[in-house]
Amino acid sequence: MNSVTEKLLKVVSDFSGEFKGAYNIREDGGCAARQSTKHIHIESKQDKPGIDIRIDAEAQGETVYIPACVTHGNVDDLVYNDFYVAAGADVTVIAGCGVHTNGEGEARHNGIHRFFLEKGAHILYKEKHVGVGKGIGLRRIDPVTEITLGEDAVLEMETIQLGGVDTTDRRTRATLGPRARLTIHESLMTDGKETATTEFAVTMEGEDAAVDLISRSVAKGESRQSYHSRIAGNCRCTGHSECDAILVDHGTVNAAPELYAGDLDAALIHEAAIGKIAGEQIVKLRTLGLTEEQAEAKIIEGFLRGK
């Protein structure tokens, strides 16, 4: 690994010199390091760039790291990562991504992740994105996540992007079986002339399936965000979509939640709220000795954490 990769890994995956357990570190389109464990096996795909991660039923409480880093311009990294999770497995996946450029060339990472969870499997999926560097080349991250949840399977996603990515197109599609549960918490902040698009499409096909989509975003500067969620319930199920956004400076947000009920017992709800920081919140924090800028930063930090 080069020095830029090590710095990016510290930000996106809390790297402290080594990973314990299973990992695959991707650097500028290639594999920089890899390790499998007894219950988590990682192998390269034969027909396209990417890896297959096979998690057996004995994997309990383990963590697998699959960070990807683009360390300079003129790199367009496309990777396909498939997760095959056996019945009853319980694993945390850390999948951060960092892009860096100091020149004119674009630095882009496009990760396509597919999850196949068998009965009763549980995955906690954490994804942090960041763009760094002083170059004028665009920093792009365009993740695609495709999810298939079997009976009683659970997938919890925590996605964070808090700056430096010039443009991002984030797409997630999921199909849920009986009593499967999908929870997604997205935290997103844009600034300057950055743009961000989020699209969720979830279909519930199994009785008593449930989905909870929560997006919290802040649009600063002249940045632009677009949010679209579609929840389809074709059976007895529950679905909830919530999009809350704060506007700062001249930022804009377009939120479009959509629901489709294809069954009499589909219970679906959507919420969307967009606004600015309340003046009384700033005043209250300033009485505690904070400057206006510090008060704004504290409010935004708490908002993105859901507090």
What is the C-alpha separation between 164 and 64, in angstroms, rounded?
Answer: 26
- pLDDT band of 306, cuts 50, 70, 90: confident
The average pLDDT across 214-238 equals 96
For residue 202, pLDDT over 70 is answered with yes
The average pLDDT across 77-84 equals 97
For residue 220, pLDDT over 90 is answered with yes
3-class SS of residue 303: helix
CA diameter of the chain: 62
- pLDDT band of 65, cuts 50, 70, 90: very high
> Which CA distances in Å does 148 have to 118, 190, 224, 268?
9, 30, 31, 20
- pLDDT band of 80, cuts 50, 70, 90: very high
What is the C-alpha separation between 108 and 101, in angstroms, rounded?
Answer: 10
For residue 40, pLDDT over 70 is answered with yes
For residue 240, pLDDT over 80 is answered with yes
Higher-confidence residue of 294 and 218: namely 218
3-class SS of residue 184: strand
The average pLDDT across 78-82 equals 97
Q: 109: which 2 tokens? A: 């990472």
**Residue 87 burial (10 A CB sphere; 0-12, 13-18, 19+):** middle
The average pLDDT across 188-213 equals 97
The pLDDT, as a whole number, for residue 104 is: 87
3-class SS of residue 12: helix
- pLDDT band of 36, cuts 50, 70, 90: very high
- pLDDT band of 280, cuts 50, 70, 90: confident
Q: What percent of the chain has pLDDT over 90?
A: 80
Give this prediction's pTM. Answer: 0.92
Q: Find the angle CA(115)-CA(120)-CA(123) to the nearest 5 degrees.
A: 45
**Residue 208 burial (10 A CB sphere; 0-12, 13-18, 19+):** middle
The average pLDDT across 138-156 equals 97
The average pLDDT across 125-136 equals 93
The average pLDDT across 158-185 equals 95
Domain spans in the chain, listed from the N-terminal domain onward: 3-304
The pLDDT, as a whole number, for residue 254 is: 95
- pLDDT band of 201, cuts 50, 70, 90: very high
Q: Find the angle CA(111)-CA(198)-CA(301) to the nearest 5 degrees.
A: 100
DSSP assignment of 18-66: ---SEEEEEETTEEEEEE--SSEEEEE-SSSSEEEEEE-TT-EEEEEE-
Taking phi first (over 0 means left), then psi (-120 to 50 degrees means alpha), and beta for anything else, what does residue 166 get? alpha
The pLDDT, as a whole number, for residue 307 is: 59
The average pLDDT across 25-52 equals 95
- Among 34-38, 41-45, 167-171, 298-302, name the one with the lowest average pLDDT: 298-302
What is the C-alpha separation between 254 and 2, in angstroms, rounded?
Answer: 39
Instruction: Name the amino acid, one letter, at 188.
Output: L
The pLDDT, as a whole number, for residue 297 is: 85
For residue 75, pLDDT over 70 is answered with yes
